[in-house]
Amino acid sequence: MKTKEKNTKENNRRPDRNRTPRKKPQTEFASLGLNPKVLSRLEKLGYEKPSPIQREFIPIALTGRDVTGQAQTGTGKTAAFGLPILEQMDLRLPSLQALILTPTRELSEQVANELERLGPNNLKLAVLVGGRPIRKQIQTLEQGAQIVVGTPGRVIDLLFRKELKLEEIKFVVLDEADRMLDIGFRPDIEKIMKRCPTERQTLLLSATMSDEVERLAKRFMNEPARVDLSEKDVANKSIRQYYISVDPDRKITLLARLLLQERPQQVLVFTRTKRGAEKLHKAFNKKLKNIAMIHGDLPQQKRDRVIKDFRSGKTRMLIATDVVGRGIDISGISHIINYDVPEFCDDYVHRIGRAGRLSSVDTGQAFTFVTREQGSQLTEIEKRINMLLDEYELKDFSSLRPRPPKNY
Ligand code: ADP
Ligand code: MG
């Protein structure tokens, strides 16, 4: 049986199997909204936690929305698009539901391999690439494939021979879009996309988003969400970044004063914990209108609604925890407030990345509340982004009580 052959392949591809501790539950992957079967496969593969692109990309893609993802090579983009597709496909149906285009034969084979590892044993995949016997590929299609991975040239060939039918396609992926364009696949991609049903989800992955890639996205995607983890975003200089020293028991007051002084168009406030988010929501809900909260305990539907309202501008202040915050695809927010210092430096970068990029708001502002004990955490963040944050001055308000005398 096919399954047997696959298991051996899987085992061979897992050299570090024995080093992987198996105890930890897949909490972080679980919080992205993946089902238990997938989670246990990830655990077996030794995927302990999602990579940054996976963390951001997966929750958005799971909503069915078109998404572009930009991240360096080797950052796990395959699983980033593969998992949401496997999750959303109807695996009981034998029909061809997903088409994944990649620039080269090797990449197609790699993607197919990864999808085989991520998907159920009986998943039916066809790899359609040049330089391999076409007859065998036709046979595979005849036996029925649920996912096709291929290069544009060979895919077109099989389309024109009417061996490949795209009527039932629900998911299209343009993987390594920049390289596909470099190779000159644009006309082929156009022809293929035109034959895919318009009611579909399109995902685009690329290490760079050149103007050409942007044009491709514009033409074939429907208001795509964007996940950008390219390095330039890391030290986003167009965002003015401040810290404010504060005593823990004055944080709520500080937030209120800051809002009063800044009067932000829209503000995203990050807390470290769900309880923290709830506490804050409670504190401000009565005073302010158009405020919402989002964290991992809310059902997906509710989360979608909250994000939609924030994106549309209906909600002016959104309080969020990191896990969900990462999945929030909204850019051009005027103000980001780190009510709690993020636990990891990467989280800081992701939080801040929501401000002012790619939009009419070209300078966002970010504020990080720091208690006296958290000075070293601030330093870590500054090292990570390679710049120093400025201290922000509030008018007529002291967020710090005077220090007790030194030899107290
Ligand atoms: P990219 O497409 O961004 O170049 P790949 O999807 O090819 O990256 O992934 C690179 C490698 O990382 C692959 O060997 C893949 O199996 C592995 N990988 C992906 N996601 C994870 C994860 N969350 N944990 C551990 N390994 C991962
Ligand atoms: Mg890749």
**Which tens digits make up the pLDDT trace of 30-60?**
889 899 999 999 999 989 888 889 999 999 9
Starting from the CA of residue 173, give the closest ligand. 2
Distance of CA 350 to the CA centre of its chain: 10
Residue nearest ligand 1's atom 24 by CA:
47
What does the alpha-carbon distance between residue 407 and residue 201 come to, in Å, rounded to a whole number?
A: 65
Q: What share of the chain is helix, strand, coil (3-state, %, to 5)?
A: 45, 15, 40
Q: Report the alpha-carbon distance of residue 367 to residue 335 in Å, rounded.
A: 8
User: Is pLDDT of 332 > 60?
Assistant: yes
Residue 78 CA to ligand 1 center (angstroms) comes to 7
Answer yes or no: is pLDDT of 129 > 60: yes
Nearest CA to ligand 1 atom 25: 47
**Ligand number with the minimum distance to the CA of 103:** 2
20 lines ligand 1 (CB under 6 A): no
Nearest CA to ligand 1 atom 2: 77
pLDDT at 141: 97
Q: What is the pLDDT of residue 19?
A: 44
Instruction: Give, for ligand 1, the residue of 12, 75, 228 to mutate: max count of ligand atoms closer than 8 Å to Cβ.
Output: 75
At 278-293, the pLDDT tens digits run: 999 999 998 888 999 9
Judged against a pLDDT cut of 60, whether residue 387 lies above it is answered with yes
Question: Distances in Å between the alpha carbon of 243 and those of 21, 129, 332, 365, 366?
Answer: 38, 53, 20, 11, 8
Decide: residue 211, CB within 10 A, 0-12 exposed, 13-18 middle, 19+ buried: exposed
Q: What percent of the chain has pLDDT over 90?
A: 60
Nearest CA to ligand 1 atom 15: 76
Tally the C-alpha atoms within 13 A of residue 236's C-alpha that lie toward its C-beta. 27
Q: Would you tell me which CATH number, out of the four given (3.40.50.620, 3.40.50.10490, 3.40.50.300, 3.10.20.30), belongs to the domain 240-391?
A: 3.40.50.300
Q: Report d(CA 328, CA 331) in Å as an integer.
A: 9
Question: Confidence band (pLDDT; 50, 70, 90) for 182?
Answer: confident
Alpha helix segments (H runs only) across 263-368: 274-285, 300-312, 322-327, 345-352
- The per-residue pLDDT of the chain, averaged, comes to 86
CA–centroid distance, residue 216 to ligand 2 (Å): 18
Q: Which residue has the higher pLDDT, 123 or 361?
A: 123
47 CB near ligand 1 (under 6 Å):
yes
Bigger pLDDT: 75 vs 128? 128
Ligand 2 centre and the CA of 104: distance in Å?
A: 11
Tell me how many helices (H) and strands (E) the chain has: 17, 14
Q: What pLDDT, on the 0 to 100 scale, is given for residue 400?
A: 84
Mean pLDDT lowest for which of 191-205, 249-263, 295-309? Answer: 295-309
CA 195 – ligand 1 centroid, Å: 30
- Distance (angstroms) between ligand 2 centre and the Cα of 47 equals 17
Amino acid 235: pLDDT:
52
Ligand 1 atom nearest 75 alpha carbon: 3
For the ranges 91-95, 105-109, 252-256, the lowest mean pLDDT is seen at 105-109
Cβ–ligand 1 contact at 79 (below 6 Å)? yes
User: What gap in Å lies between CA 34 and CA 28, rounded to an integer?
Assistant: 10
Residue 49: count other Cβ atoms within 10 Å of its Cβ: 12
Structure confidence at residue 317 (pLDDT) = 95
Q: Range(s) for CATH 3.40.50.300 in the chain?
A: 17-228, 240-391
Q: Which residues contact 126 (CB under 8 A, 6 or more apart)?
A: 137, 140, 141, 145, 147, 148, 149, 150
The residue among 172 and 347 whose pLDDT is bigger is 172
For residue 76, give the ligand nearest its CA. 1
Q: Is the CB of 285 under 6 A from ligand 1?
A: no
Secondary element (H or E) of residue 106:
helix 105-118
The predicted-structure confidence for 5-21, as pLDDT tens digits, reads as follows 444 444 443 344 444 44
Instruction: Compute the distance from residue 206 Cα to the ligand 1 centre, in Å.
Output: 14
Residue 15 CB less than 6 A away from ligand 1: no
CATH topology (fold) of 17-228 = Rossmann fold (3.40.50)
How far away, in angstroms, is 77 Cα from ligand 1 center? 7
Pick 379 or 362 by higher pLDDT. 379
- Exposed/middle/buried for 68, CB within 10 Å: 0-12, 13-18, 19+? buried
Q: Residue 191: which pLDDT band, with cuts at 50, 70 and 90?
A: very high
Give the number of the ligand closest to the Cα of residue 75.
1
Measured by CA distance, the residue closest to atom 22 of ligand 1 is 47
- Element (DSSP H or E) covering residue 84: helix 77-88
User: For 349-369, how does the pLDDT look when each residue is reduced to its tens digit (9 = 90+)?
Assistant: 777 766 654 334 456 889 999
Ligand closest to 15 (CA) is 1
Q: DSSP letters of 44-64?
A: HHT--S--HHHHHHHHHHTTT
Atom nearest to 207 CA in ligand 1: 3
Pick from 171-175, 273-277, 297-301: least confident: 297-301
Q: Which of 114, 178, 204, 231 to mutate to test the pocket of ligand 1 (most atoms within 8 A of CB)?
A: 114
Q: Which has the higher per-residue pLDDT, 19 or 161?
A: 161
Point out the ligand nearest to the CA of residue 176. Answer: 2
- Name which of 94-98, 117-121, 130-134 the model is least confident about: 130-134
Is the pTM for the entire model greater than 0.85?
no
pLDDT value of position 346: 72
The helix (H) or strand (E) run that includes residue 228 is: strand 225-228
Mean pLDDT of all residues in 167-176: 97
pLDDT (mean) for 83-97? 96
154 lines ligand 1 (CB under 6 A): no
CA of 326 from ligand 2 middle (Å) equals: 21
